[in-house]
Amino acid sequence: MPAYFDHAATTPLSALATSALVEQMAKIGNASSLHSPGRLIRKDVEEAREQIAGLVDANPSEIIFTGSGTEANNLALKGFYWKAHAQDPQRRVVLISAIEHHAILDPAEWLDEHEGAELVFIPVTSAGSVDLVFLTDFVQRRGSEIAVIAVMHSNNETGTLQPIAEVVAIAGDIPVHTDAVQSFGKVDFSFSQLGVTSATISAHKIGGPLGVAALILRRGLDLTPILHGGGQERDIRSGTLNAPSIVSFAAAAQESTSKMAERAIYIRSLKKYLVESLFAIFPDITVNGDQTHSLPGIVNITFPGTESDGLLLLLDAEGFYCSTGSACSAGVPRPSHVLLAMGVSERDARSSLRFSLSFSNTRAEIDQLCEVIGSVVHRARAALARG
Amino acid sequence: MKLIAAMSGGVDSAVAAARVAEMGHEVVGVHLALSSNPQKYRSGARGCCTIEDSHDARRAADVIGIPFYIWDMASEFHEGVVENFIAEYSNGRTPNPCLRCNEKIKFAAVLDRARALGFDGVVTGHYAQMKETSAGRLMYRAVDPAKDQSYVLAVLNSEQLAGAHFPLGDIVKTDTRKEAKARGLYVANKPDSHDICFVPSGDNAGWLRDRLGSESGPIVDESGEVLGEHQGAYTYTVGQRRGLGLTVPAAGGIPRYVLKIEPKTNTVVVGAHEALAVEKIVGDRPIWCGPAPISGRDHRGFAQVRAHGQPLACTYSHNNLEITVHLDEPLFGLAAGQGLVIYDDDRVVGSATVSETA
Ligand SMILES: Cc1ncc(COP(=O)(O)O)c(C=O)c1O
């Protein structure tokens, strides 16, 4: 039986979210139309917005729907940079953690290359958590030059949770964006309590549909849009509202949040079982990143002496699906920038796999994985040792 | 069998992979990333290392229904092929990087990795045939002489050939492109690549100049008289006639050709066409594609010195370190560094690298 251990990449649409999606797709109307069908769709969208706002502890007007988490991150990072820079040309520094997802990392590099920004990375500890000493010192020295700070809520490769409340406290008046794509629906997440300026959440990581997400942006702030058009979302994001996906997103958000505590206990025990089972077979593996302050389902493991793309190929052939760090646009495997930032050697970074579990995984699946992984790792080691 | 199909993104390797998959083998498609900076790959449909090509290869694998991965062979390729190419040119020799790539990458680094991962061999879209005979698994020219690529594979030894699979060797009537179309592979109409894949412009001399710098030196005739100046001997190839830029007219208006490149003195020697005639060829680094012919004895066969060159009737012998060939009829223009391939009719006997000619 194949087993899917890659829920952080994307996870199946839940039954509830599916029926919400299908039902909504049968309805006619553009949420911006003034006639009755349009108003009915608008009502559905606004109810979804209120529902999601309630779940993240934000005001409904603070939810801006976007076409992806990537878009929401771009909107926040570029928007805050342009705004701050326009108000005060001194503010050119874009300060991001060294372990951000590409959806933050790449727009930050783009701002640096094309928009006159200076990109500065906040280093992380070997446990994969942002270095608050560095941050404090940097803000003290160059606070007046910082346009925006971005630190993700939890890391998608290691699962390590980041000290966002502390980052916000250190940042003072500087806008702080947090990419909460992996956290929302998995661990407690309160927008208002955290005090961040903006946050990103995405539907397809929590059993909602692909291609819908939200930027949660503090009331009263506006940002330079990336897409110009009908101005549907607070004039910050244009495009006809994707009502079916938004309604389905809300259904998934509701479901994953209400079942979160119970699922988290189960998933965490499953992860512990996975790690212990693997340690029993390979005493020399290492788990990357802090596992006490972490998402329940993500674990990143180095299998010394292997190449992760070889491991992936062999596991795929056996019906076990997990992932390696990341690949460039042509698909060439690269050592994870996250692991490298944590001080993991390039060799070990190239020998690491991420397993991400969900409530639908079972111990039996892990047992099956452990039956084949011995020979898989053996062959992957031979492949690296070749020549 | 479990096979790795090397998929360049072109039509041949896609059809090759489809054929072995259809035969019921367990096939995994692999695209080799050969440049360390794939983002900077040139765009365009030709060549073997663009983002489009990796996408095309992936798409073909999806259509065939096989898994697909990208293997990073950039450092192996750079060390094994690109650096060698530059070094050979700077030594006044004319290498064929495709031979080198087959020998060091496709049927070495890739085959070794495939074997370690539990695969039996590597499939490519080369046009050549492997036949089981009483003397073992031997390589033959493709059925269609116009498509035959056995020349660039003659650098593979028996052990490498044991893991090599060329499913296109028998294509004759059915054109590969037609077959690709019938199989729903949209690379069916993709143009073939002709250039050296890592020299995107097709301008070898310019590419080499960027890496080796220019260094002027004399162009001389066979008597040593200086006729002109060049900006780098490595940008010339033996047999070349155009682009010499000579101002001193030749006696009797006879066209002059590059006869020799002398890297130590950075000198290019030119002369009349007759002076390019070669009757004896010595090649070093012999590689046998099957049982080695008996050493120290004359054998009849055919020699081929270019990928699409003519097979030339010859007598050859070897002493395990060198192959010596005596051609029945002279050949005009042969540079050190070129691949010398020996055939017994259509069977590939082996190869060597041209070291001396006379
Ligand atoms: C941390 C993080 N941020 C952003 C994204 C991108 O979200 P989306 O797939 O909705 O564009 C992902 C998912 O790949 C992620 O894991």
Contacts of residue B274, Cβ cutoff 8 Å, sequence gap at least 6: none
DSSP 8-class letter at A245: H
Return the number of other C-beta atoms located less than 10 Å from residue B132's C-beta.
8
Tokens 């003519």 locate to B310
Residue % of chain A over a pLDDT of 70? 98
Closest CA to A147 of A80, A230, A60: A80
- Residue B62 confidence (pLDDT): 96
- Residue A323 confidence (pLDDT): 93
- Residue B338 confidence (pLDDT): 95
pLDDT at A243 over 50: yes
DSSP bridge partners of A353:
A301
Contacts of residue B314, Cβ cutoff 8 Å, sequence gap at least 6: B300, B301, B302, B303, B325, B326, B327, B328
Chain B residues in contact with A329 (beta carbon < 8 A) = 38-39, 51
pLDDT at A76 over 90: yes
Question: Within chain A, what is the greatest distance between any pair of CA atoms?
Answer: 71
CB B319 within 8 A of CB B296: yes
Taking residues A150-175, what's their average pLDDT?
Answer: 98
CB A355 within 8 A of CB A291: no
Q: Tell me whether residue A36 is exposed, middle or buried, using C-beta atoms within 10 angstroms of its C-beta: 0 to 12, 13 to 18, 19 or more.
A: exposed
A316 inside 8 A of chain B by CB:
yes
- Residue B42 confidence (pLDDT): 42
The third-level CATH classification (topology) of the domain covering A260-386 is Aspartate Aminotransferase, domain 1 (3.90.1150)
Chain A residues in contact with B31 (beta carbon < 8 A) = 331
Of the candidate ranges A107-116, A119-128, B183-192, the one whose mean pLDDT is the lowest: B183-192
Contacts of residue B249, Cβ cutoff 8 Å, sequence gap at least 6: none
Strand, coil or helix: A113:
helix
Nearest to A333 among B54, B67, B70 (CB): B70
CB B239 within 8 A of CB B318: no
CA distance A294 to A186: 10
CA distance B348 to B203: 31
CA distance B77 to B90: 19
- Residue B173 confidence (pLDDT): 63
Of A73, A189, A202, best ligand 1 pocket probe by most atoms within 8 Å of the beta carbon: A202
Mutate to test the interface with B, among A106, A315, A332 (most CBs of B within 10 A): A332
Tokens 């540079």 locate to B335
Strand, coil or helix: A102:
helix
Backbone angles phi, psi at B312, to 5 degrees: -115, 125
Q: Do A329 and B38 touch (CB under 8 A)?
A: yes
CA distance B357 to B336: 8
**What pTM does this model have?**
0.89
Tokens 């042969």 locate to B334
Backbone angles phi, psi at B86, to 5 degrees: -65, -45
Alpha carbon separation from B183 to B14, B186, B227, B322 (Å, rounded):
10, 9, 58, 46
- Residue A32 confidence (pLDDT): 94
Which domains occur in chain B, in start order? 2-125+167-189 (3.40.50.620), 214-271 (2.30.30), 276-357 (2.40.30.10)
Chain A residues in contact with B8 (beta carbon < 8 A) = none
pLDDT averaged over chain A?
96
Strand, coil or helix: A40:
helix
- Residue B167 confidence (pLDDT): 96
Q: State the number of CA atoms in the 13 A half-sphere of B181 facing the CB.
A: 8
- How many beta-carbon pairs under 8 angstroms link A with B? 62
> So where are chain A's domains?
15-258, 260-386
d(CA A366, nearest CA chain B) in Å? 22
Of the candidate ranges A74-78, A316-320, B39-43, the one whose mean pLDDT is the lowest: B39-43
The third-level CATH classification (topology) of the domain covering A15-258 is Aspartate Aminotransferase; domain 2 (3.40.640)
**ipTM of the complex, rounded to two decimals:** 0.86
pLDDT < 70 stretches in chain B: 36-50, 173
CB A156 within 8 A of CB A8: yes
CA distance A163 to A133: 12
- DSSP labels for B167-185? TTTT-SSS-HHHHHHHTT-
CB B290 within 8 A of CB B349: yes
Q: How many residues does chain A have?
A: 387
- Residue B41 confidence (pLDDT): 41
Closest CA to A210 of A53, A56, A21, A32: A21
Return the number of other C-beta atoms located less than 10 Å from residue A168's C-beta.
18
- Residue B48 confidence (pLDDT): 42
- Residue B107 confidence (pLDDT): 96
Report the Cα B63 to chain-centroid distance in Å.
Answer: 29
> Which helix or strand (DSSP H or E) is residue A366 part of?
helix A363-385
Contacts of residue B24, Cβ cutoff 8 Å, sequence gap at least 6: none
Backbone angles phi, psi at B73, to 5 degrees: -115, 25
Structure tokens at B324: 């010596």
